[in-house]
Amino acid sequence: MFRPDFGAEACELTTRGTPLGATTGRSQASAPLVEAPARPRFLSLEQAGELAALVCPQGCTPTKSALSPAGGPVALLSPTDTASWEDHEFSNPPRPMSSERRKRRRFAYELRDGLRPFGTPRVAGCGRKRIAFEVEVVRTKVKRQAGGTYQHAYFVGISRCGSVWECPVCALQIRAERAEELKYAVEQWGADAVAMLSLTVRHGLGDDLRAVRQGISHSFGRLINGAPWKRFCRKLGIQHHVRAIEVTHGANGWHPHLHILFFLETKLTDEEQAEASAWLQKRWAACVQRALGGAFVPNEHGVDIRSAKRADYLAKFSFELTDPGTKKARGKNRTPLQIAASAASGNDEALWRSYCEGMRGAKMLTWSRGLREFVGLGAERENEELVIAEEAEPAEPVAIITSAAWDAIRHRRGVACTLLEVAELTPKQSQAAEEIEAVVRGALRSRVPP
């Protein structure tokens, strides 16, 4: 088994990877792998709810120039990570006190690692590639919606992809944030006066996912444009809408579809609902015919309008994300998360790739103009902004991992989660820093799985 001299290795790696090695003093033989932060920044804490923190972010987007805590250079680029994780597996089991939130984080992190071979360089580097001189582990207290607080740790100085389709870690974080906004908007509006519409098209095996989902978007664009739509909205009291695009896969291939929440003046009566359904069926069929062609025109099941119950619309908008291993599949169609889990374990790789190619660039959620302002949500943030948003918030520094140490351990599965768990579960900062150093050293020794 390869057992390097870690002090010497760290020194050499740090010097080699550090343009300012001579001035930062990190090239000395005694340079530690992990440092307690020199400049504690204890600040007041206020954060979004627990949903928004389901997953701890790791670092930030490559476009961000993160200053080194040591005042070192910025935007240090390293080559795209193409190493197989199997070569570097690190066995460090979850701590016994794992909460549901930590379990979900482990699941998302493991899935992201398993999907790296199939991702674009940006997605493959998410949570691994360093974009700052060093990597900081920080933590913040988050208020629970049910009362009390919990510690939430995350990394600063690592690239994030911000892909809501391809990256389980970013997707969980983005969807949690969007779900909070949607719930807030519905509550502000009044849940009774919100209705949900689902729109699908006829589809078949072999259909190109990108072409069909773009065709559905164009069909919807046609639906909500023009005088007939304005008259329909006036008649039913539709003031605003939010549109989400989702996709599942089944025996008939890819099934991209739309879910729309209508924000109404008042709750629809049964008669109004029936009337709306009849009008929408006819109009949707005509729009699909124009945008995609007759082969895609759906039958009467292509349109479904009903009152929006919270659990229902959150599920339909795919904000209900759980480990597919513990979730029963709905019908025979599989969700992207289920396909992802299958791809990560060696099956369905081609299917996962075709899903990624088909959905890349699609906008998950679209708000009608003026709705966000009306309910007091303010401007919508991009996915890339959401995954690094908390880096702008005050946080307690726990430890700084040197560039050399991070670059040596970043391929090893499970290490990142363990570091965050240590930071969250060890109350005393100095002790947490020591334990993090121990985990880093352990990871450096574990080149071969036990």
Specify the residue, 348 or 384, whose C-beta has the smaller distance to Zn ion: 384
Least distance to Zn ion, CB of residue 191, Å: 32
Phi, psi for 46 (deg, rounded to 5): -150, 130
Q: How far is CA 133 from the centre of its chain?
A: 25
> Per CB under 5 A, does 76 bind Zn ion?
no
Q: Sort strands 238-250 and 365-367 into parallel, antiparallel or unpaired.
A: antiparallel
> Per CB under 5 A, does 171 bind Zn ion?
no
Per-residue tokens: 98? 């794992």
Specify the residue, 164 or 182, whose C-beta has the smaller distance to Zn ion: 164
Residue holding tokens 């599949």?
329
> Per CB under 5 A, does 170 bind Zn ion?
yes
Specify the residue, 152 or 316, whose C-beta has the smaller distance to Zn ion: 152
Specify the residue, 61 or 219, whose C-beta has the smaller distance to Zn ion: 61
Segment contacting Zn ion by CB under 5 A, of 40-48, 156-164, 340-348, 361-369 = 156-164
Segment contacting Zn ion by CB under 5 A, of 100-108, 165-173, 342-350, 368-376 = 165-173
Segment contacting Zn ion by CB under 5 A, of 158-166, 216-224, 242-250, 256-264 = 158-166
Specify the residue, 129 or 255, whose C-beta has the smaller distance to Zn ion: 129
> Per CB under 5 A, does 167 bind Zn ion?
yes
* Contacts (Cβ under 8 Å, ≥6 apart) of 125: 62, 80, 81, 159, 161
Sign of CA dihedral 356, 362, 367, 368: negative
Specify the residue, 170 or 340, whose C-beta has the smaller distance to Zn ion: 170
**Of 53, 161, 164, 371, the one binding Zn ion by CB under 5 A:** 161
Segment contacting Zn ion by CB under 5 A, of 36-44, 102-110, 160-168, 214-222 = 160-168
CA–CA distance, 168 with 55 (Å, rounded to integer):
10
Planar angle of CA 440, 443, 446, nearest 5 degrees: 155
Least distance to Zn ion, CB of residue 178, Å: 15
Least distance to Zn ion, CB of residue 176, Å: 14
* x-or-dash string of contact with Zn ion, 99-138, rule CB under 5 A: ---------------------------x------------
Segment contacting Zn ion by CB under 5 A, of 28-36, 155-163, 329-337, 411-419 = 155-163
Segment contacting Zn ion by CB under 5 A, of 97-105, 157-165, 181-189, 235-243 = 157-165
Subset of residues 215 to 254 that bind Zn ion, contact rule: CB under 5 A = none
- Interface with Zn ion: number of residues (CB under 5 A): 4
Specify the residue, 170 or 245, whose C-beta has the smaller distance to Zn ion: 170
Least distance to Zn ion, CB of residue 109, Å: 10
Q: Which residues of 193-217 are buried (b: 16+ CB within 10 A; e: fewer)?
A: bbbbbbbbbbbeeebebbebbbbbb
State the residues that interact with Zn ion by CB under 5 A: 126, 161, 167, 170
